[in-house]
Amino acid sequence: MGTRIALVDDDQNILTSVSMTLESEGFEVDCYHDGETALRGLARRPVELAVLDIKMPRMDGMELLQKLRGTSSLPVIFLTSKDDELDEALGLGMGADDYITKPFSQRLLIARIRAVLRRASQDEMDMAAPNIIRQGELLMDPDRHLCSWKGEEVKLTVTEFLILQALASRPGMVKNRDQLMDAAYGESVFLDDRTIDSHIKRLRRKIKVQDSSFDNIETLYGIGYKYRA
Amino acid sequence: MGTRIALVDDDQNILTSVSMTLESEGFEVDCYHDGETALRGLARRPVELAVLDIKMPRMDGMELLQKLRGTSSLPVIFLTSKDDELDEALGLGMGADDYITKPFSQRLLIARIRAVLRRASQDEMDMAAPNIIRQGELLMDPDRHLCSWKGEEVKLTVTEFLILQALASRPGMVKNRDQLMDAAYGESVFLDDRTIDSHIKRLRRKIKVQDSSFDNIETLYGIGYKYRA
DNA sequence: CGCCTGTGCCGCAAAGCCGCCGCAATGACG
DNA sequence: CGTCATTGCGGCGGCTTTGCGGCACAGGCG
């Protein structure tokens, strides 16, 4: 199934010809004549990218973008007339992902659309990957480098954070020092095993400052460490 | 049949567009405008995951989560505004499984929903542990270096663990001391036979501390040992 | 140029583990 | 029943692993 794209322009000629081209490229296109209709339509029938004319009756592209961005981070490409370069700057400043000046070649539009979509999906990959870890009183949010124990923040260094994350993401699972090393640095980094001990030491100490009864990082003699939930 | 998801937000635009997207992805969506209605609706029509806006009239997401968590462990994803990061921390501390800041892309939401659902179902089926040994009252999980007798943990050293594992993995099968030696250390390690006796001694003692009637490690005079199921 | 933080590693002391010894208990067998 | 082989068990000395304080070095920053 093709990617769904909204096309908003008051010029019926553009609407028809561009939508034809896009459809022939495998996209599914929803056409709207003005911002207001588009806003309503998009609520019912979401798309993955919108191509907006800036100048339109009833609600122009700028205003539409603003309303859309209130609720979603939909990628947007603006269509601008050659003479109003001011609007271009404004549109981009507002958060458009790209813009094209009329007249434009259809091929260029398609290229831009593909580029914006690629960029957007890349961003989401980055965002979607790591989730929140919650194990009992421990809370970790890798996105924000946030770690808290019993609701109170614990300030960790990067290395400490990664090691604790590796342990807490699979509570109960035993990790030897090499595995923790791989988690903290990439693989193929060779360091003294005992370095891990140092980080564990600092981790335990930092959390114990707030809660002296903390003992969830367990040592397994001759094997490694594990996090007890 | 799709997974059922509750969507609670006071913004009708979000409600419509997000529910459309989710439905097009094969989910079944129940929409609610506020916490109170949602609470009543969810009682009648349970879901497997809830997406909650934090700020809502009558009963906000926070309060709703609290009430929901009183009775079930329903996975929850929060929608938060970019500006109030305080709420995020609070929401997470309260037990949300993830959160997304507005504005967000629908694709991201879907990715997060899938991730949370995956994690939840993973937790339920107890992490797909392929290596667990269960023989009657004995339970061994090498990945976690966990051994329990009649539900109570028995702390074993590596060598003890390996020997018991070798015995219990083939209950009834006789193992001579050399075989047990190979299981515990690699082959090509030469030690006094009687060392195995020592480990057996310690094994029996450790388990007997918890259950004096334990006698499942059997001695075969002149041959070796076997585990009786 | 100094201060500060993060980090890797060293060295010592404590804790844990293991192999073996010696003696008592048990089993095999004539 | 006597004798020898095998096993159970307490214990001990020594080795390994770990905890922890601390030090030196590197990089960031004013």
Residue A174 sits in a domain whose CATH number is 1.10.10.10
Listed in sequence order, the residues at least 6 apart from B134 whose beta carbon sits closer than 8 Å to its beta carbon are B140
B27 compared with B101, residue with greater pLDDT: B27
User: pLDDT grade, residue B101 (50/70/90)?
Assistant: confident
User: pLDDT grade, residue A128 (50/70/90)?
Assistant: low
Span of A99-103, A125-129, A222-226 with lowest mean pLDDT? A125-129
Interatomic CA–C1' length for residue B224 and nucleotide C28, angstroms: 15
Burial of B191 (0-12, 13-18, 19+ CB in 10 A): exposed
Mean confidence (pLDDT) of chain B: 88
The model's pTM is 0.77
User: pLDDT grade, residue B189 (50/70/90)?
Assistant: confident
Residues B118 and B144 in one domain: no
Residue B192's domain comprises: 133-227
Helix (H, G, I), strand (E, B), or coil: what is residue A106?
helix
Question: What's the half-sphere exposure (Cβ side, CA atoms, 13 Å) at B96?
Answer: 28
- DSSP calls for chain B: -PPEEEEE-S-HHHHHHHHHHHHHTT-EEEEESSHHHHHHHHHHS--SEEEEESS-SSS-HHHHHHHHHHH----EEEEEETT-HHHHHHHHHHT-SEEEEESB-HHHHHHHHHHHHHHHHHHHTGGG-S--EEETTEEEEGGGTEEEETTEE----HHHHHHHHHHHHSTT--B-HHHHHHHHS-SS----THHHHHHHHHHHHHHHHH-TT---EEEETTTEEEE--
User: pLDDT grade, residue B224 (50/70/90)?
Assistant: very high
pLDDT of residue A159: 97
Q: State how far Cα A88 lies from the chain centre.
A: 25
B145, two tokens: 């270096």
Mean pLDDT of B30-36: 93
Task: Answer yes or no: do A72 and B103 touch at CB < 8 A.
Answer: yes
Task: Answer yes or no: do A121 and B104 touch at CB < 8 A.
Answer: no
Helix (H, G, I), strand (E, B), or coil: what is residue A21?
helix
All residues of chain B having their beta carbon less than 8 Å from the beta carbon of residue A96 are none
Mean pLDDT of B181-210: 94
Q: Decide if pLDDT at B129 tops 70.
A: no
Residues A115 and A143 in one domain: no
pLDDT of residue A177: 97
B3 φ, ψ (degrees, to nearest 5): -75, 140
Task: Give the residue from chain B lying closest to A120, CA to CA.
Answer: B105
Q: What is the pLDDT of residues A153-203, one digit of tens each?
A: 999 999 999 999 999 999 999 999 999 999 999 988 889 999 999 999 999
pLDDT of residue A25: 93
pLDDT of residue A6: 94
DSSP-derived secondary structure letter, A143: G
Interface test with A, best of B92, B132, B147, B165 (most A CBs within 10 A): B92
Measured at the CA of B220, the angle between CA B216 and CA B222, to 5 degrees, comes to 155
Q: Which of A25, A26, A22, A27 is nearest to A4 (CA)?
A: A27
Element (H, E) at A152: strand A152-153
Edge to edge, the sheet with strand A76-81 lists A28-32, A4-8, A49-53, A76-81, A98-102
Q: Which nucleotide is nearest to B189 (CA to C1')?
A: C19
CATH number at residue B73: 3.40.50.2300
Q: Decide if pLDDT at A129 tops 60.
A: no
DSSP-derived secondary structure letter, A175: B
Residues A36 and A144 in one domain: no
Count CB atoms within 10 A of the CB of residue A192.
10
Interatomic CA–C1' length for residue B169 and nucleotide D12, angstroms: 33
User: pLDDT grade, residue B60 (50/70/90)?
Assistant: confident
Q: Which of A87, A106, A128 is the last residue of a domain?
A: A128
Residues A64 and A175 in one domain: no
Mean pLDDT of B23-47: 92
User: pLDDT grade, residue A131 (50/70/90)?
Assistant: confident
Q: Decide if pLDDT at B92 tops 90.
A: no
Q: Which of B67, B97, B127 is the last residue of a domain?
A: B127
pLDDT of residue A93: 62
Amino acid at B132: I
Task: Answer yes or no: do A73 and B112 touch at CB < 8 A.
Answer: no
DSSP-derived secondary structure letter, A95: T
Interatomic CA–C1' length for residue B219 and nucleotide D4, angstroms: 19
Residue with smallest Cα–C1' gap to D5: B222
Q: Which of B106, B127, B148 is the last residue of a domain?
A: B127
B38 compared with A55, residue with greater pLDDT: B38
Residues A152 and A90 in one domain: no
Helix (H, G, I), strand (E, B), or coil: what is residue A51?
strand
Residues A35 and A108 in one domain: yes
Q: How far is Cα A159 from Cα A164, in angstroms, rounded to an integer?
A: 9
Residues A115 and A154 in one domain: no
User: pLDDT grade, residue A210 (50/70/90)?
Assistant: very high
Most confident of the following: A50-54, A102-106, A143-147: A50-54
Residues B15 and B121 in one domain: yes
B12 compared with B165, residue with greater pLDDT: B165
pLDDT of residue A92: 57
* CA dihedral sign, ordered A34, A39, A40, A44: positive
Q: Decide if pLDDT at B59 tops 80.
A: no
Distance from the Cα of B220 to chain A's closest Cα (Å) equals: 31
Q: How many domains does chain A have?
A: 2
Q: Which of B172, B165, B171, B175 is nearest to B141 (CA)?
A: B165
Q: Decide if pLDDT at B138 tops 70.
A: yes
Q: State how far Cα A26 lies from the chain centre.
A: 25
Task: Answer yes or no: do B105 and A73 touch at CB < 8 A.
Answer: yes
Mean pLDDT of B105-124: 83
Q: Which of B99, B116, B144 sits opposite A173 (nearest CB)?
A: B144
Interatomic CA–C1' length for residue B54 and nucleotide C6, angstroms: 38
Q: Decide if pLDDT at B78 tops 90.
A: no
Residues A148 and A222 in one domain: yes
Residue with smallest Cα–C1' gap to C15: A221
Residues B21 and B119 in one domain: yes
Cβ of A220 < 7 Å from strand D?
yes
Q: Decide if pLDDT at A88 tops 70.
A: no
Mean confidence (pLDDT) of chain A: 87
Residues B14 and B122 in one domain: yes
Task: Answer yes or no: do B93 and A151 touch at CB < 8 A.
Answer: yes
> Please, are residues B35 and B8 in contact by the beta-carbon 8 Å criterion?
yes
Residues A96 and A199 in one domain: no
Most confident of the following: A104-118, A124-138, B154-168: B154-168
